[in-house]
Structure 1
């Protein structure tokens, strides 16, 4: 059975980073490092990073023949304290990553385009350095803190505000179906496009449907999932969907109108341990700097009232 499995994997057209990590018996962090160093070719499908099966087999063959110095296992042991992964899809996270590398010249900052809830669970399991969160809690009407309390049980951490941003409905130009409220999603003539499970927007959608007693089975397209804001907005722009939910910024990239629903709090969570001591101080310094604030102002559309503030800590 094992041989059959190995042979079938040769025919597998591509792998996720998680699958590669299992195959090489290393962590996902090591896989990201190999990709960034150019030792393992990769490409993206949407927001997901993939490695072609042929490239992976070639890498394994080169390892065995000694054409690649060292092994993934050694890479695992020697990755040091300087490689950090920031999860999330917010555009300003790329700015943050560059600034961290500027302030910590020896650092290697990687990006993982995962949803908030998925990333938080993975942090509890030991993956990721900085997790970005925008998770709405219907019971309290607040963001993020209830989820950190429940998921990062016994894990000392600090949560710092990045920004606040508008979220709302993406609708076709002119809003021909006059979509304004959550209740409108249940109209039989309206086609909805959802986000994937584990994303902050999906949590918002599900929480709003729950607290407003709306039956998701009555929403046409509820099971139709896109993996990012841009994917949702694009489906609305090309007329395949009438409405989706996402942040205002992405509505400006494609040809859709935006109906604001609420302002969401976008925070960063970092585990408090010896390895992250300097990282926490650097991130706070960046977020509190006039330079970073000016850059956000230049982009426009963000509320920076709490940017750089400590929102919550587990000691």
Structure 2
């Protein structure tokens, strides 16, 4: 890659194999340097190369590859100051609302958001790189969400699983469903182009489990290797006609006028916290916020979520 040319955000997205929405988020957060020519955004080749080198440094610390807003101290240490920082992992907008409520109560605490998938979040919790992570990982053997994965990925560590919301997972399809997509087996139709989520995300786990159960070879799914990092990016690709179907949550589908949604699976979206942290003041505040009318009403106002068990302890492991 030449360092003396500039790239558009779309070209950067193709080079890094991420969505253009993630590129704009990186620029917005100052993690990737960019400049404007009129209304156009450009990224210098040298700045893109610098970002890639910084990402490699993070990866050497076993951090997941999805861009984060964890401050620079994490690039120099495996651990952060747990009395001054609290890292919350997950991608749902409900977590942004939760973080805002926490910031009001604890202005002295740095609440840092990391936008990564469920498995990467649990691994970050195991390695001491996160305090609160979310998971929506379905286990087909037990028909249970999250608990089997927490047991496997946090060996020797006690954890508490607390419900945040329930969400409906399903297919994003074009308005009117022109390809007549209804079930998992329709993904192998020769004229159906699929767009996938990244490895480690809850949606990817659900897909792979369903392919296995239905006896579907992933190599027969056109577009299986095409990955996007968020539900929003998947839905956008279907809405633009670049794919015929993708898997994600119903809430995101509501944001697109030219998409239909086929509900397939009601999923439990939980918070996972180390049991030893549960009695600390800001964790107790987190649970209180989940049960507060103000927070619950704000989430209800967004729509697309079932909050009937919000704040309830599902299991202590």
Q: TM tier, shorter chain?
A: 0.7 to 0.9
Equivalent position to 1:48, from 50, 53, 67: 67
8 A contact 2:78–2:128 mirrored in 1: no
Change (3 A) 1:81 1:238: same
Distance 1:21-1:223 versus aligned 2 partners, 3 A rule: closer
Determine the C-alpha separation between the residues in 2 that align with 1:286 and 1:193.
36
Matched, 1:207 2:209: yes
Alignment of 1:11-90 (within 5 A): 12-15=49-52, 19-21=56-58, 48-49=67-68, 79-90=81-92
Structure 1 pair 50/302, CA: closer, same or farther in 2 (3 Å)? closer
Q: In the alignment, does 2:138 pair up with 1:119?
A: no
Taking structure 1 as the reference length, the TM-score comes to 0.77
Give the CA deviation at 1:128.
Answer: 0.7
Residue 126 of structure 1 aligns to a residue whose secondary structure is coil
Alpha-carbon distance in 2 for matches of 1:308, 1:258: 28
Aligned to 1:65: none
Q: Specify the alignment match of 2:241 in structure 1.
A: 239
| Cα distance between partner residues in 1 of 2:114 and 2:55 | 12
| Higher Rg of the two aligned structures | 1
Find 1:293's aligned residue among 291, 296, 315.
Answer: 296
Q: What is the correspondence of 1:112-191 to structure 2 with a 5 Å cutoff?
A: 112-191=114-193
Distance 1:302 1:22, change over 3 A: closer
CA distance in 2, matches of 1:227, 1:77: 25
Q: Note if contact 2:118-2:133 (Cα within 8 Å) is conserved in structure 1.
A: yes
- Aligned-CA RMSD value: 2.9
Following superposition, the deviation at residue 194 of structure 1 comes to: 0.4
Verify the 8 A CA contact 1:15 1:50 in the aligned structure 2.
Answer: no
CA-CA distance at 1:132 after TM superposition: 0.5
- Unmatched 5+ stretches in structure 2: 1-45
What is the deviation of 1:243?
0.2
Change (3 A) 1:185 1:274: closer
Task: Tell me how far apart the structure 2 counterparts of residues 131 and 250 of structure 1 sit (CA, whole Å).
Answer: 21
Give the paired residue count. 268
1:162, 1:266 within 8 Å by CA — same for their partners in 2? yes
How many angstroms apart in 1 are the aligned matches of 2:54 and 2:69? Answer: 7
Which residue in 2 is equivalent to 1:109?
Answer: 111
Q: CA deviation at 1:20?
A: 4.6
Compared CA separation, residues 175 and 81, structure 1 to 2 (3 A): same
SS state of the match for residue 79, structure 1? coil
TM-fit CA distance, 1:279: 2.9
Q: Spell out, residue by residue over 1:244-277, the C-alpha distance to the aligned partner (whole angstroms, 9 max, x if none).
A: 0001111122331111111110000011235962
The structure-2 alpha-carbon separation of the partners of 1:174 and 1:12, relative to structure 1 and needing over 3 Å to count, comes to same
Distance 1:49 1:309, change over 3 A: closer
Matches of 1:83 and 1:191, distance apart in 2: 43
CA distance in 2, matches of 1:139, 1:76: 34
The reply to whether residue 217 of structure 1 matches residue 219 of structure 2 is: yes
1:282 equivalent in alignment to 2:301: no
> CA offset at residue 312 of structure 1?
1.2
Distance 1:111 1:274, change over 3 A: closer
Aligned residues of 1:81 and 1:275 also touching (Cα < 8 A): no
State how far apart, in whole Å, the 2-side matches of 1:297 and 1:11 are.
40
How far 1:13 sits from its partner (Å)? 3.4
Mapped partners of 1:82, 1:230: distance in 2? 32
